[in-house]
Chains A and B, each alone.
Chain A
Amino acid sequence: MGRTLAEKVWEQHVVRRADGEPDLLYIDLHLIHEVTSPQAFDGLRMAGRPVRRPELTIATEDHNVPTLLGPIKDPVSRTQVETLRKNCAEFGVRLHPMGDAGQGVVHIIGPQFGLTQPGMTIVCGDSHTSTHGAFGGIAFGIGTSEVEHVLATQTLPAYRPKTMAIEVSGELPAGVTAKDLILAIIAKIGTGGGQGYIVEYRGEAVRKLSMEGRMTVCNMSIEAGARAGMIAPDETTFDYLKGRPHAPAGADWDAAVEYWKSLTTDEDAVFDTVVEIDATTLTPFVTWGTNPGQGAPLGAAVPAPQDTDDPAAAERALEYMGLTAGTPLRDVAVDTVFVGSCTNGRLEDLRAVAEVLRGRQVVTRTLIVPGSMLVKLQAEQEGLHEVFKAAGAEWREAGCSMCLGMNPDTLAPGERSASTSNRNFEGRQGKGGRTHLVSPQVAAATAVTGKLTAPADLV
């Protein structure tokens, strides 16, 4: 019987397999940031252990960094960032600190450097590590104990998850994005639908996505409960990688591409579960509740709790969100628009926002935060920042920013946002804040009207 893509990549990385034990899996790349690593480095120090492969490890500062120029004012945040600097210096790990041209959100910089490649195993103490699966590797988030384990051994003991295919047939209609697709998928399978699975996204609509769109889709796999999401590599993947600083070159490139081409699910492979989605029926999608599965097409109304799968949760969510069932989503007024995060903080996202904002004015507080310093540079080279500023939006430095509000960018209690990030959990963007997850296009149009809006609604 044939094998799925996930099975091929997994088998390639098994260091040791024994009956009744989890596989010991080799890790090709370990990404690190300041929030989930300090206790892991402490553990190494206490046990007198070195980092086994510092040259397969890379660190960045992203969660705490302010997006306005200047030092970190919050002393606790500053200590955390300084702790990362000390740890990286002591253990010999490459670090991209604030202000460095390579700094950015951890899941944006890996692909940007060409460190994220097909067929690799990639981990990070961060659940959105699933992003990197867009290149056809197995990438998943881990906790701090596992971060310490990878630092010490470059391996992880793990049971192979089951496999799920999400087959997206047909093409996405004009104006419907990768973000709308993944939000619709999560609404369909639920926040627990992917638990225990590695998801492979397949089908025509997925093949037609750009690398950046594929990253948006894989990024939110965890919001459906799946630790990892992946997409088989193809010419789009190879074109993206070629020439990047850490991509193979010369004869290595040819050998790598030949291997990468074998990284597809065999015709006769069998998935444990298959989910089918018709892309042609999709429209811009937004969330109304407090988990990413509580979403609906923008053209719909806030649902009545009894019409949802989990009425008690929906009722709680509507109360927290300050929404009344039956209100058209297009009538929901927002105070703040946030564009950024590892979901939608890349160049294409910013281009899409600029296209909507060009020649228009925003009526909400609008924060546009590039996912990395390189994205910022590229956006500025294209003059996108001028478009943003002319529209009245704020153009910031790179970081996680209002995706989770560990830095000063937060919502006030009761404040409502349209956000291109990935989590609408209670308090995620600031205590009492209310989040609607949207695509960059919807975020931009919403900034113009002050209500949840798609670009097509604008005159």
Chain B
Amino acid sequence: MEAFTTHTGRAVPLRRSNVDTDQIIPAVWLKQVSRTGFEKGLFSAWREDPAFVLNDPVHEGASILVSGPDFGTGSSREHAVWALQQYGFRVVIAARFGDIFRNNSTKMGLLPVVLPADVVEALQSAVEADPTLEITVDLGERQVRWGGEIAGFEIDDYTRWRLMEGLDDIGLTLRNADAVAVYENGRQPWLPTTV
């Protein structure tokens, strides 16, 4: 996973709530068995509308998505995270996230930032007023900064550390392989196996 410390970039304001993962990447794109090429599927149905915000050339090259509440609800598809990252996003800011999406993001190094709904709105308005606005997302300080504004956000220490170091969870867990083996010896004898 790519480490995340601090990121500065421009943003896209997505003024929609309940952006479910079926919208982020429709099911037809999930048939690929590789991990690449998902940027084409990002919001593919919505992007057919020329007026959709992502099609506005003023937002080209933006790397921070600022969405309405309940972003990433629904399907567990991690392809949604891959699509956002491969399109060029490093951060998604919203007032609420779907739990699975949020989890998937932190496994991949896409930073989900929760800010209060009124702050998200203010940020969206600021970007709409000036699409060239530079926004800094500082994971170390747990802050989002733009045009003289500072908004703090919460993230647990462990996830923050893992993101800042770019650490792979599996490697961390395997350090505790002994504890897993001990646990396995004590499992209830009637628990099923698939064989």
Contact = CB atoms under 8 A, between A and B. Distances in A.
B99 A196 contact: yes
A144 B176 CA distance: 21
B170 A153 contact: yes
Interface stretch (A76-84, A336-344, A371-379): A76-84
B188 A259 contact: yes
Interface stretch (A14-22, A199-207, A277-285, A444-452): A14-22
Interface in B31-45: 31-35, 45
B179 A15 contact: yes
Contacts of B189: 252, 255
A305 interface: no
A291 B33 contact: no
Contact of B76 (A28, A56, A125): A125
A57 B169 contact: no
- Number of chain A interface residues as a range: 35 or more
Contact of B99 (A52, A225, A247): A225
Interface string B154-195: 001110000000000110111011011001100111111111
A176 interface: no
A143 B180 contact: no
Q: Which of B96, B99, B156 has the most CB of A within 10 A?
A: B99
Given A21-B158, A155-B173, A83 B33 contact: yes
A126 interface: yes
B117 to A, nearest CB: 11
A192 B107 contact: no
A178 to B, nearest CB: 21
B103 interface: yes
B70 interface: yes
Contact of A24 (B74, B76, B107, B173): B173
B103 A38 contact: no
Contacts of B69: 192
A42 interface: yes
B22 interface: yes
A431 B45 contact: yes
Interface residues of B, number: 59
B194 A57 contact: yes
Contacts of B195: 55, 94
A293 B18 CA distance: 10
A21 B160 CA distance: 11
Given A47-B170, A426-B23, A24 B179 contact: yes
Q: Which of B18, B74, B104, B192 has the most CB of A within 10 A?
A: B192
A64 B183 CA distance: 37
A290 to B, nearest CB: 8
B73 interface: yes
Interface in A48-94: 49, 52, 54-58, 63-64, 74, 76-77, 79-80, 83, 94
A425 B20 contact: yes
B30 interface: yes
A148 interface: yes
Interface string A134-160: 000000111111101100111101010
Given A143-B103, A310-B17, A431-B45, A225 B73 contact: yes
Contacts of B77: 35-36, 143
Given A36-B78, A143-B81, A426-B45, A149 B173 contact: yes
A125 B107 CA distance: 14
B192 A246 contact: yes
A192 B158 CA distance: 25
Given A55-B193, A431-B26, A36 B76 contact: yes
Given A152-B170, A423-B22, A142 B176 contact: no
Contact of B108 (A80, A114, A145): A145
B75 interface: yes
A414 interface: no
Given A127-B74, A143-B81, A313 B192 contact: no
A406 interface: yes
B16 interface: yes
B169 A42 contact: no
A427 B26 contact: yes
A252 B158 contact: no
Given A195-B96, A222-B74, A15 B158 contact: no
A120 interface: yes
A191 B69 CA distance: 11
Interface in A283-336: 290-291, 293, 310, 312-313, 316
Interface of B: 15-18, 20, 22-23, 26-28, 30-35, 45, 69-70, 73-79, 81, 96-100, 103-104, 107-108, 156-158, 169-170, 172-174, 176-177, 179-180, 183-184, 187-195
Given A28-B192, A143-B103, A153-B174, 7 more contacts: A58-B194, A76-B32, A80-B33, A125-B76, A141-B76, A154-B184, A195-B97
22 contacts: A35-B30, A36-B78, A47-B170, A49-B170, A79-B31, A80-B31, A80-B33, A83-B33, A126-B76, A127-B74, A143-B78, A143-B81, A144-B78, A149-B173, A191-B70, A246-B194, A252-B190, A255-B189, A291-B20, A406-B31, A423-B22, A423-B74
